[in-house]
Amino acid sequence: MPLAYNCTREISSQVSAAQSILPKVLGITLALAAGGAVLSYVVINIILQGSLQQLFQSIKKLQIVVHMSLVNVSMPGNASIFFSYLLQIVAFDVIPTDNAYDAVFGFEESQPVSTNF
């Protein structure tokens, strides 16, 4: 390593351990509820041969809200924690596919668009 090598990065908003409990609990609860609702909605509509239009519309709205952290404004740390749980649902990241993508496509990792995200 070169002598006196310097590296820098922006720090996202910080929270103490105590302050992180509430957003964590809320985020996990909402993520589980949303995941359960999506799954049950899909199953019921497949059985009843209904449309998934309403489900996709609601997820689209949720995606806009969660991706608000891409806007370059300061976001409190507890809000980031809360959104990080919802992001797994709205991004359909229930099944982790990152490793599979790397193996198949060989993408090079780039810097994030926003430190909040």
1 binds other proteins (CB under 8 A): yes
Least distance from C-beta 17 to other proteins, angstroms?
Answer: 7
Unique residue bearing structure tokens 């780039």: 110
Structural contact between residues 66 and 86, judged by C-beta atoms closer than 8 angstroms: yes
Q: Which residues contact 16 (CB under 8 A, 6 or more apart)?
A: none
5 binds other proteins (CB under 8 A): yes
Structural contact between residues 90 and 63, judged by C-beta atoms closer than 8 angstroms: yes
Least distance from C-beta 21 to other proteins, angstroms?
Answer: 12
63 binds other proteins (CB under 8 A): no
113 binds other proteins (CB under 8 A): no
**Of residues 3, 48, 64, 113, which one binds other proteins by CB under 8 A?**
3
**Of residues 64, 73, 95, 104, which one binds other proteins by CB under 8 A?**
73
What b/e string do you get for 86-110 counting C-beta neighbours within 10 Å, with b at 16 or more? bbbbbeeeeeeeeeeeeeeeeeeee
Residues 18-57, mask of contacts with other proteins (x by CB under 8 A):
-xx-------------------------------------
